[in-house]
Chain A
Amino acid sequence: MKLFAKSLSLSLMKSELRVMFTRRRTWAMLFAIAMIPILLAIAVYLSSDRLAPGEGPPFLDRVTQNGLFTGFTAMLLAMPLFLPLTISVVAGDTIAGEAGLGTLRYLLIAPVNRARLLIVKYLGTLVFTLAGTFTLMTAGAIIGAILFPVGPVTLLSGDVIQIPEALGRMAIVALYTTVSMMGMLALGLFISTLTTIPVGAMTGVLIASGVSQILDNLPQLAWLHEWLFTHYWLDFADILRQPMELSSLGNNLLLQLGYVAVFGSLAYGRFTTKDILS
């Protein structure tokens, strides 16, 4: 029995990813994510009026000067709504999707330990998020390089970094935004244990991210802002400084881990005692 114990612990994880990436829905969402920088770049390329510096969304004016900014700009556009939308689909689907199909009961009698299933499901959503953010940054770099000049990148601090380092910063942005989503993914996992209707769970997660962003914009609630899981979502601009401004990254990581601990525990408490009647 011990002989194949090692591969066994990974079997379910591999299987989970295989199921996720067999679905056409997963690829459609990644494709849609890739379209964000592509559409953005084409729109900027085709528009005859050049934007004055500082006009429009941050970085947008820089895209025409350096294609490598396409990814960053697209990420800023995608963070408030589109990325959370696709991610809520995956996070809301974790348990509710299996329950809705009825496959949950067959997994549990396979048998899978319920806590283990939760962990695997959570890691699966994290992998999807990572795939999503990297898809966006990669598509941005490629379309940017095709349509616009590419060269050393002038950072927000005025320093100039070479292309390889710029690509490294893009990867860090993708990692940062993935970390930013960890709290929401845990919330999604918890909501998903409450229902057998995946669409309900997805909507719940999306509403939570919307409400959180609205609260974050109300100055009267300033005391609350740093506790909102969306609070640091757009702060990856700090990665484009020299040296990198790491304090908000650290705060964000702590906050996200806090959300993971809280909603992970709630999901555990709920799911391990739940009657599976679907």
Chain B
Amino acid sequence: MSEKGQWAIETNGLIKAFGDQKAVAGISLAVPRGSVFGFLGPNGSGKTTTIRMLLGLAEATSGEIKLLDHAIPKELQVALPKVGALVEGPAFYPYMSGRNNLIRIDSADRFSDPSTRAARVDAALERVGLSNAAKKKVHAYSLGMKQRLGLANALLKPRELLILDEPTNGLDPQGTREVRNLIRSLAAEGITIFLSSHLLTEIEQLCDHVAVMSAGKILAQGSLAELRSHGQTRLILKVDRIDEAVDILKTQGIGKIKFSGENMIVPVVEDLDVSRINEVLVKKKIKVSEIRLEHPSLEEYFVDLTGEGFEVVR
């Protein structure tokens, strides 16, 4: 089975029901190998439950899972050594040092080589910038340090897939930047990264593929470019004599003008020549203080899909 399939994670009609509520209501994920895949959704949308099923911590009510081409949960013990994960926050023995915590978890893995254990643990600590705190007990760690230690745990061995659930939770801006850089460098090594987050900016910065989840369902899935193309590019105009400007634009075949404050917003059809519009307006002595194209943001699409509200969906 050395032939690697196209997908690092593949699920088919995955359902997890707690009583009559479906935390995950039939999702089909397809995470391409080598991608940085953003798993985006508001809190309580079923992201962590999905991850638990992927890792065999919870059993699916129905549906299929393939993790690195291994059927889950049947071939869990074969698949998991190739997967590093951070699930719902880091968790460690507070009365042991960071280093001893990693040694503990590595000892639990029957497939890891004890003769390289110390070196691998130190390398992982180094990679997340925890070398200096390695001998401190974890109860003295800040949340950010625990988060880093959790990442180090995921990096104890060379992995094919990293499943990271909210990896920048609790980190200060500096730490967030470092973790994002770390994720980029891991992705550059060819490791597939499955990144769950409720932060759109994080997904936009890091990922090339994304799935949007809400209330247990996947609302959209695809490459970032595909999802972006759902929105419409707009021309934003700010001029002094609005009525005249509207008439002039009409002569250029532009109708459907919307207004937002002092701005005119014009939906853009394919090849609109912005500089020519500008030229026409200026020739008619209209003062243009702002003219620019606004590309559709993922955020709008996201809000379109999941709703604006702050309420927990259920």
Interface residue ranges, A against B (CB under 8 Å): 1, 4, 7-9, 11-12, 14-15, 18-19, 22-24, 101-103, 105-113, 117, 273, 275-277
A/B interface sample: 21 pairs, CB < 8 A? A8-B110, A8-B114, A12-B108, A15-B104, A18-B100, A19-B96, A22-B93, A24-B95, A101-B93, A102-B91, A105-B87, A106-B87, A108-B57, A109-B55, A109-B80, A109-B85, A110-B80, A111-B76, A111-B77, A275-B57, A276-B52
Given known contacts A18-B104, A112-B108, A11 and B58 CB-to-CB distance under 8 angstroms: no
Q: Which residues of A contact B59 (CB under 8 A)?
A: 273, 275
Given known contacts A109-B55, A275-B58, A103 and B109 CB-to-CB distance under 8 angstroms: no
Q: Does any Cβ of A come within 8 Å of B310's Cβ?
A: no
Can you list, as one digit per residue, whether each of B18-60 has a CB less than 8 Å from chain A (1) or not (0)? 0000000000000000000000000000000000100111110
**CB < 8 Å neighbour of B115 from A4, A23, A276:** A4
Q: How far is the CB of B101 from chain A (nearest CB, A)?
A: 8
Q: Which residues of B contact A276 (CB under 8 A)?
A: 52, 57-58
Q: Does any Cβ of A come within 8 Å of B103's Cβ?
A: yes
Q: Does any Cβ of A come within 8 Å of B229's Cβ?
A: no
Q: Which residues of B contact A106 (CB under 8 A)?
A: 87, 91, 105, 153
Q: Does any Cβ of A come within 8 Å of B89's Cβ?
A: yes
Q: Are A9 and B104 in contact (CB under 8 A)?
A: no
> What is the chain A residue whose CB lies nearest that of B106?
A110
Q: Does any Cβ of A come within 8 Å of B231's Cβ?
A: no
Q: How far is the CA of A1 from the CA of B108 in the complex (A)?
A: 16
**What 9 additional pairs, Cβ within 8 angstroms, besides A19-B104, A277-B52?**
A23-B95, A101-B94, A102-B91, A103-B105, A109-B56, A110-B108, A110-B109, A112-B109, A277-B58
Q: Does any Cβ of A come within 8 Å of B247's Cβ?
A: no
Interface residue ranges, B against A (CB under 8 Å): 52, 55-59, 76-77, 80-81, 83, 85, 87-96, 100, 103-111, 113-115, 153
Q: Which residues of A contact B56 (CB under 8 A)?
A: 108-109, 111
Q: Which residues of B contact A111 (CB under 8 A)?
A: 56, 76-77, 80-81, 108-109
Q: How far is the CA of A105 from the CA of B83 in the complex (A)?
A: 14
Q: How far is the CA of A103 from the CA of B104 in the complex (A)?
A: 10
Q: How far is the CB of A102 from chain B (nearest CB, A)?
A: 3
> What is the chain A residue whose CB lies nearest that of B79?
A111
Q: How far is the CA of A273 from the CA of B56 in the complex (A)?
A: 10
Q: How far is the CA of A263 from the CA of B61 in the complex (A)?
A: 27
Given known contacts A23-B95, A103-B93, A109-B57, A15 and B114 CB-to-CB distance under 8 angstroms: no
Q: Are A4 and B114 in contact (CB under 8 A)?
A: yes
Q: Which residues of B contact A14 (CB under 8 A)?
A: 107
The listed residue with most A CB atoms (<10 A of its CB), out of B59, B76, B89, B110, is: B110
> What is the chain B residue whose CB lies nearest that of A97?
B93
Q: How far is the CB of A164 from chain B (nearest CB, A)?
A: 39
Q: How far is the CB of A231 from chain B (nearest CB, A)?
A: 37
Q: Which residues of A contact B109 (CB under 8 A)?
A: 110-112
Q: Are A22 and B100 in contact (CB under 8 A)?
A: yes
Q: Are A15 and B107 in contact (CB under 8 A)?
A: yes
Q: Which residues of A contact B153 (CB under 8 A)?
A: 106
Q: Are A22 and B81 in contact (CB under 8 A)?
A: no
Q: How far is the CB of B137 from chain A (nearest CB, A)?
A: 10
> What is the chain B residue whose CB lies nearest that of A15?
B107
Q: How far is the CB of B113 from chain A (nearest CB, A)?
A: 6
> What is the chain A residue whose CB lies nearest that of B83?
A109
Q: How far is the CA of A273 from the CA of B73 in the complex (A)?
A: 11
Q: Which residues of B contact A103 (CB under 8 A)?
A: 91-93, 105
Nearest 7 interchain pairs by C-beta:
A102-B91, A15-B107, A111-B80, A275-B58, A110-B108, A276-B57, A110-B109
Q: Are A11 and B93 in contact (CB under 8 A)?
A: no
Q: How far is the CB of A222 from chain B (nearest CB, A)?
A: 45
Q: Which residues of A contact B115 (CB under 8 A)?
A: 4
Q: Are B89 and A275 in contact (CB under 8 A)?
A: no
Q: How far is the CA of A5 from the CA of B94 in the complex (A)?
A: 30
Q: Are B111 and A22 in contact (CB under 8 A)?
A: no
Q: Are A113 and B100 in contact (CB under 8 A)?
A: no
Q: Which residues of B contact A18 (CB under 8 A)?
A: 100, 104
Q: Which residues of B contact A11 (CB under 8 A)?
A: 107-108, 110, 114
Q: How far is the CA of A198 from the CA of B91 in the complex (A)?
A: 16
Q: Are A9 and B110 in contact (CB under 8 A)?
A: yes
Q: How far is the CA of A110 from the CA of B109 in the complex (A)?
A: 5
Q: How far is the CB of A18 from chain B (nearest CB, A)?
A: 7
Q: How far is the CB of B196 from chain A (nearest CB, A)?
A: 15
**CB < 8 Å neighbour of B105 from A1, A107, A273:** A107
Q: How far is the CB of A244 from chain B (nearest CB, A)?
A: 40
Q: How far is the CB of B91 from chain A (nearest CB, A)?
A: 3
Q: How far is the CB of A55 from chain B (nearest CB, A)?
A: 45
Q: Are A22 and B80 in contact (CB under 8 A)?
A: no
Q: How far is the CB of B114 from chain A (nearest CB, A)?
A: 6
Q: How far is the CB of A134 from chain B (nearest CB, A)?
A: 24
Q: Which residues of A contact B107 (CB under 8 A)?
A: 11-12, 14-15
> What is the chain B residue whose CB lies nearest that of A275?
B58
Q: How far is the CA of A103 from the CA of B107 in the complex (A)?
A: 14
> What is the chain A residue whose CB lies nearest that of B101?
A103
Given known contacts A109-B80, A276-B52, A22 and B95 CB-to-CB distance under 8 angstroms: yes
Q: How far is the CB of B103 from chain A (nearest CB, A)?
A: 7
